[in-house]
Amino acid sequence: MNETSTSAARERHIICMKWGTKYGPEYVNRLYAMVRRHLQGDFRFVCLTDDSQGIRPEVQCFPIPSLDLPAGLPERGWTKLATFTEDLYGLRGTALFLDVDVVVTGPLDDFFTLPGEFRIIHDYKRPWRITGNSSVYRWELGAHPDVLAYFRSHFEDIRRKFRNEQAYLSDFLHRQGKLQYWPAEWCPSFKYHGIPRWPTNYWKPPFVPAGARVVIFHGECNPPDALAGRRNRRFRFIQPATWVAEHWRE
């Protein structure tokens, strides 16, 4: 390996995606700020997006590679598979994908050094299944173009078999023996691990789970919702998660 390719292999990238109107540029800007506080050394921060307006200049924005999906499909995260494009704007090195609505609470360096071809969160709700949660995954850029190639040529079959992109992705790489999971405590779920059990949720505030590095927000509750608290559901009452403000900021 020559000096240029060695340097490329060492390069670290944080990649996120923002499309549609659900998330504004502040999500990307705050994600960048959290990564900068928790990742030592140099890295490149890339956002694949259909609208770069308002995104801070430290973030390099590129259009989302087209998957040519049929119009009118329900959102199932298929767009994330574009990260497996064989040549993603000439980027080379190790990439860590982060959803724009995560909250980084601890060091990220080990996400780049933990051995394994492909790492992803193990699904929280059904841990007996192989399915991963794609809020946080790591791979070598350009190393798995077959993920996308097979998806393009078998989309209708995949859509019938798998509910979303993370189920397909996990199954595909598992069958190749490449699927591995992050240590469970690194990427806890706010929904499953950060809310006190009923009925103590009525008087105890949400907390950062022990060992957490990236707290995942999935379902109906995003960081601003957690920060505000929730009072409209009897068994899902949430006190304001004031700790979110400490981390989810620029």
Domain extents for the chain?
A: 3-181, 190-247
Q: What is the pLDDT of residue 136?
A: 98
Residues with Cβ within 8 Å of residue 122, at least 6 apart in sequence: 132, 133, 181, 182, 184
Burial class of residue 125, CB neighbours in 10 A (0-12, 13-18, 19+): exposed
How far is residue 28's CA from residue 11's CA, in Å, rounded to a whole number?
A: 21
Q: What is the pLDDT of residue 88?
A: 97
Q: What is the pLDDT of residue 128?
A: 85
pLDDT tens-digit profile, the chain (250 residues): 343 444 445 799 999 999 999 999 999 999 999 999 999 999 999 999 999 999 999 999 999 998 887 776 766 789 999 999 999 999 999 999 999 999 999 999 999 999 999 999 998 878 889 999 999 999 999 999 999 999 999 999 999 999 999 999 999 999 999 999 999 999 999 999 999 999 999 999 999 999 999 999 987 789 999 999 987 665 578 999 999 999 999 9
Q: What is the pLDDT of residue 235?
A: 54
What is the token pair recorded at 56? 């801070």
How far is residue 189's CA from residue 217's CA, in Å, rounded to a whole number?
A: 6
How far is residue 19's CA from residue 186's CA, in Å, rounded to a whole number?
A: 26
Q: Where are the beta strands (DSSP E) in 99-154?
A: 103-104, 118-122, 132-140
Beta strands 60-62; 44-49: pairing state: parallel
For domain 3-181, the CATH architecture is: Alpha-Beta Complex (3.90)
Q: What is the pLDDT of residue 41?
A: 97
Amino acid at 130: I
CB 167 within 8 A of CB 179: no
Alpha-helix runs per DSSP H in the chain: 3-10, 25-38, 109-113, 145-153, 155-161, 165-175, 190-193, 223-228, 243-247
Supply the DSSP symbol for 236: G
Q: What is the pLDDT of residue 11?
A: 95
Angle at 235 between CA 229 and CA 241, to 5 degrees: 20
